[in-house]
Amino acid sequence: MKAKKVNLFFKIVLIFTGFLALWNTCLYAGKSQKLRVALTGKFPPFSFYSGKGRLIGFDVDVSKAIARKLNRDLEIVTTEWDGILAGLLAGKYDAIIGSMAKTPQREEVVNFSIPYYISGAQLFIHEDNKDEIENIDALRGKRIGVGLGETYEHYLRKNYPDIQVVTYKSTVDIFQDMLNGRIDGFVTDKLVGLYQIEKGRMPFVTAGKLLYEESIAIPVVQERPQLLKKINKALAEMKRKGELAAIYKKWFEEKGKDFETAAGIETKIIVKKLGKGFAITLLVAFSALLMGFVLAIPSAVILNNKAFFIYYPLRSFNDFIRGTPLLIQLFFVYFGAPQVGVMLTPIQAAILTLTVNSSAYMSEVIRSGLMSVDCGQILAAKALGLSRLQSFRYIIWPQAFRIALPPLMNSVVALMKDTALIAVISVGEVIREAQSIISVTYNPMKYYFIVAVMFFIFTFPLMKLAGRIEKKIKEKGFANA
């Protein structure tokens, strides 16, 4: 009897694992047509958008060459540097060809290919200070900027503990703070730094020798040694045949060559990029709002009545959502979903997260609206023979909704603004597009201001409308009935 049960248990486990294996194979089989490569698209000259809006750069060329050698179509995913490794681990793409340095820490979670170029960490300072600051030792006790998640941060903290390390989302931000005097220097890749300084016509110069050398290589998940082997073979061949050197020469030695960027970025492209970005922002915001609102109504009813058996789970869930940063929820959904076998595109993940998030906030607002409706209203409706549903639909809901409307409008405005965060899971919304424009134009204030205005054009009428409705309700005088 017992043996039989165990047997059955094993059978179930076997079938289940078999199913999982099949599922995984299908997933990977579906992927094998294309080589999906991640990079930031904001890292000139390695990856950035040209004046004509095309993704170009050293890393892009290397990606193309490798895909060709592997005989695969190339799909480039542009994503934020912060989440680029997490995305690789979550299976969002096959490899990162985004100028990632090989480090022991990273090697714990991924396998690196052989290096495809060598660079190094370089300190840059303002040219006005070049006489005082000979090398990094002169900056002890001062503030130095680095890109968030780059190896330089770890290196500086370890070797120069008395230097204050300030992390930035992008080089453009670092430049801005160098000009503002918030930092005294910055450390970045020497090649990148020199290129960007020249492009942005920035008054910065190198100070001292390379802090250390870095091997730039391609990380692949540890579960896919076959892929790594193929990439290594491709790289070795490219080195042998001088193809890699040719790409290097194209981007670093042919000075003065026009990479479609010399004249900056065309206005037409800027308008198109920002327009497309804002369309995505609106799509995400309105889908999330609509679904969040629909979900919020039953949630609010449940939250308004402890008698429902799911009251306590929902109460806790709502508190959890409202008490944790949206940013973390986004990461959680985007990187967590693949681990339970659900592949979500960045936009799907963004809509899902914002739906849940906005539903949590809106259900609280609606709940307090429901609570402020006099219980006597239900008695009166019942005395007239209305069913519970009719009483909710015609008596309770219209009153609760009118009370909840102004704070609901505020939730809508808040959610609109929250969409700014979804760039971190590589949704190409308006702020991400602005950043990619800024990475070639070096004019953050201008483009961030334009984006702010775009948001304001949408949120302002909503805020006005909320005010109008509130006034109207006060005039009719039933808000406190």
Partner 1 sequence: MLEIKNVRYLYPDGTRALEDISINFPREHILALLGRSGSGKTTLLKCIGRFLKVERGKILLGGRSVYDLSEIDLRRSIGIVFQDLYLFPHLRVIDNMTLAPRLVMGEDSKQAKDTAMVTLKKLGIDDIWDKYPSQISGGQAQRVAIARALVLRPKYLLLDEPTSALDVDTTDEFGRWLVRLKEETTFIIVSHDVLFCEKTATSGALIEEGRIVSRGSIDNILKKTKR
**Residues engaged in binding partner 1 (CB under 8 A):** 374, 376-377, 379-387, 390, 394-395, 398-399, 402, 476-478, 481
**Closest approach of partner 1 to the CB of residue 386, in Å:** 6
Answer yes or no: are the C-beta atoms of 97 and 216 closer than 8 Å. no
Residue 135 or 387 having the CB closest to partner 1 = 387
Residue 108 or 475 having the CB closest to partner 1 = 475
Residue 206 or 377 having the CB closest to partner 1 = 377
**Closest approach of partner 1 to the CB of residue 392, in Å:** 12
As a whole number of angstroms, the distance between CA 171 and CA 252 comes to: 19
**Closest approach of partner 1 to the CB of residue 481, in Å:** 4
Residue 274 or 395 having the CB closest to partner 1 = 395
Phi, psi of 264 (to 5 degrees): 75, -155
Residue 407 or 444 having the CB closest to partner 1 = 407
Residue 226 or 480 having the CB closest to partner 1 = 480
Half-sphere exposure of 55 (CA within 13 A, CB side): 23
Chain-centroid distance of CA 75 in Å reads: 18
Phi, psi of 215 (to 5 degrees): -95, 120
As a whole number of angstroms, the distance between CA 224 and CA 475 comes to: 68
User: Which pair of structure tokens corresponds to residue 465?
Assistant: 């409308």
**Closest approach of partner 1 to the CB of residue 302, in Å:** 23
Please report the beta strands in 11-142, taking only residues with DSSP state E, as ranges in sequence order: 34-39, 48-49, 55-56, 73-78, 95-96, 100-101, 110-112, 117-126
93-130 as b/e: b if 16+ CB within 10 A: bbbbbbbbbbeeebeeebbbbebbbebebbbbbbeeee
Answer yes or no: are the C-beta atoms of 420 and 268 closer than 8 Å. no
Residue 348 or 372 having the CB closest to partner 1 = 372
- Which residues are bridge partners to 118 per DSSP? 215
SS3 state at 252: helix
Half-sphere exposure of 286 (CA within 13 A, CB side): 8
As a whole number of angstroms, the distance between CA 357 and CA 419 comes to: 11
Residue 396 or 440 having the CB closest to partner 1 = 396
Residue 28 or 478 having the CB closest to partner 1 = 478
Answer yes or no: are the C-beta atoms of 38 and 55 closer than 8 Å. no
Phi, psi of 480 (to 5 degrees): -110, 20
> Closest Cα to residue 102, out of 187, 215, 224, 236?
215
**Closest approach of partner 1 to the CB of residue 406, in Å:** 16
For 201, left (φ over 0), alpha (ψ -120 to 50), or beta? left
**Closest approach of partner 1 to the CB of residue 476, in Å:** 6
Residue 157 or 476 having the CB closest to partner 1 = 476
As a whole number of angstroms, the distance between CA 88 and CA 31 comes to: 14
